[in-house]
Structure 1
Amino acid sequence: MKQSRLMSLVEAITNVVVGYGVAVAAQLAVFPWFGLPARVADALGIGAIFTLVSLARSFALRRLFEAIRIRRTSNAAGG
């Protein structure tokens, strides 16, 4: 069964939202190990930037793999 583009986007957004929370928490924990200030506002901003990048990457990869699946299915059916 084919996954719609909308559902691909919903899945990617859900994955990235959870990842955002993990990333912010990780920054607050890890930055001090490297002598960097661990300010919540900074972690939220940095996390937002990387979240947007991650969302775009996740969606693009999902669509790429869906296209590969469709091509393989089409070739196997003799199309």
Structure 2
Amino acid sequence: MKQSRIMSLFEAVANVLFGYGVAVVTQILIFPIFGLHTTLAQNLKMGAIFTALCRARHKTVYAERRIMRSRPGVGVASI
């Protein structure tokens, strides 16, 4: 069964929002343990930065994978 474009978009947006939420909640819980005290606004901004960096890293890994797969005999295990 193939996923529709709308459902694929919904999945991607939900994934980013979930990652952003996890980043913010993690900061709120972990930063005080290390003596870092931030406001909610600061946590939201840092969460956005971390989410953007994570998405950029994901795109880079995807591009590397595509490049490696396009080269004959590279990145494919021989059985």
Contact residue 31 and residue 37 of structure 1 kept, 8 A: yes
Q: Percent identity?
A: 41
In structure 2, what is the equivalent of residue 72 of structure 1?
72
Contact residue 27 and residue 43 of structure 1 kept, 8 A: yes
Task: Give TM-score scaled by structure 2 length.
Answer: 0.64
Shift of 1:17: 3.3
Q: Where do 5+ consecutive residues of structure 1 fail to align? A: 1-9
In structure 1, what is the equivalent of residue 29 of structure 2?
29
Per-residue CA deviation, residues 9-62 of structure 1 (Å, 9 max, x unaligned), is: x68765443221111000000111111114211110011112111111110111
Contact residue 12 and residue 55 of structure 1 kept, 8 A: no
Distance change >3 Å, CA 35–CA 47, structure 1 → 2: same
Contact residue 20 and residue 47 of structure 1 kept, 8 A: yes
Q: 1 CA distance for matches of 2:12 and 2:59?
A: 6
Task: Give the paired residue count.
Answer: 66
Q: 1 CA distance for matches of 2:12 and 2:54?
A: 9
Name the Cα RMSD after superposition. 2.8
Q: Is residue 2:59 matched to residue 1:59?
A: yes
Task: Give TM-score scaled by structure 1 length.
Answer: 0.64
* SS of residue matched to 1:43: helix
In structure 2, what is the equivalent of residue 17 of structure 1?
17
* SS of residue matched to 1:72: coil
Q: 1 CA distance for matches of 2:14 and 2:63?
A: 16
